[in-house]
Amino acid sequence: MSTGVVLDPRFMEHQPGRGHPERPERIAVLVEMLERQAGLVRVEPRPATADEITLVHDGAYYEDVARTRERSYYAFDADTPVSARSFDTARLAAGGVLTLIDEVMAGHVRNGFALVRPPGHHAEPNRAMGFCLFNNAAIGAEYLRAHHGLQRVLIMDWDVHHGNGTQHRFERDPGVLYISTHQYPYYPGTGALDEVGAGDGEGYTINLPFPPGFGDAEYGEAFRTVIAPIVLQYEPEFVLISAGFDPHVADPLAGMEVTERGFASMARTLLGLADRTAAGRCVAVLEGGYDLRALRDCSAAVLTELRGQAEPADEFATASRAGPLLDAVRRVQGRYWRW
């Protein structure tokens, strides 16, 4: 079965201003990259409705963002400026994720990648922040439950920044397992090891706060020895990936050392888990990634994995330094999961 992709030049219409790292050129390089890709099904995005967006966001906040259509420039905070077309672009990004989810759930494609902007995982129910307006992955998870009747959804967030908005939306909800690997301490300051959820959702938030310098070997060990065992116990019916490529060694906003090969390995692990628990149903959603060449090459590597066209890979030659941190994760999460 084929792989679907959402990518539309209209995603360039969100203009945060000259010099902003979350710039329209991020989409331009992906449009160029996709022209060289074969065997993909192009999925046309649609704007998400107000009812769909308010599955996650407050109605008053939705209206606040909508009112920016009347302004050529407005800043929700120092990091999150918008232009007159930003609201419509953000609706199209969220709707693109939902359209791709529908295609997967209908069996028209096996999996897919929503190459959308602006990103979403920092957006809180009532607040824009960190370049994000609407939380695309969180909206996707709620849509899967509200419109497709699923009960267990995984959001795996490998962006270099912790997805505070996603965690806060689901931290009391066992219906969504949220797992995050991220540089720590770093923006936005959340994502400590002991943030495990609360109430009925206790144990369904897993944070792996990595120090700067971790790369392919460390991420690979974390996915194999911590993340995979937890996911298999949870048995998600759908896998969503908040796919930020800012842990790449070339990214200007962070200090990680992941390469294209590392992202391919992470995607391969998650696709194998989706095959075992979710009938292969998996959608990646673009988050960060601010070196244009790295963004292009990493997106292409993940698409190759989604299509099942990657060559078998050897283990990473570099020894992992993640052992002590992963032991700490196991101690904290051992109340909820088995190893």
Query: Strands 153-157 and 176-183: what pairing?
Result: parallel
Query: Strands 176-183 and 205-210: what pairing?
Result: parallel
Dist. CA 218–CA 320, nearest whole Å: 5
Of the candidates 131, 38, 100, 124, the residue with the CA atom closest to the CA atom of residue 240: 100
Retrieve residue 6's tokens: 């959402």
Percentages helix, strand, coil for the chain (3-state, rounded to 5) are 40, 15, 45
Which residues lie closer than 8 Å to 102 by C-beta, 6 or more apart? none
Known active-site residue 57: no
Q: Quick one: angle between helices 86-105 and 136-148, nearest 10?
A: 40
Q: Where are the beta strands (DSSP E) in 128-272?
A: 153-157, 176-183, 205-210, 238-243
Residue whose structure tokens are 């969180």: 138
Is 100:46 a contact under the CB 8 Å cutoff? Answer: no
CA torsion, ordered 220, 120, 7, 272, to nearest 10 deg: 30
Which of 14, 122, 161, 182 is the catalytic position? 122
Residue whose structure tokens are 């888990």: 273
Dist. CA 71–CA 292, nearest whole Å: 29
Angle at 277 between CA 289 and CA 55, to 5 degrees: 60
Dist. CA 278–CA 68, nearest whole Å: 39
CB atoms within 10 A of CB 309: 11
Residues that are catalytic: 122
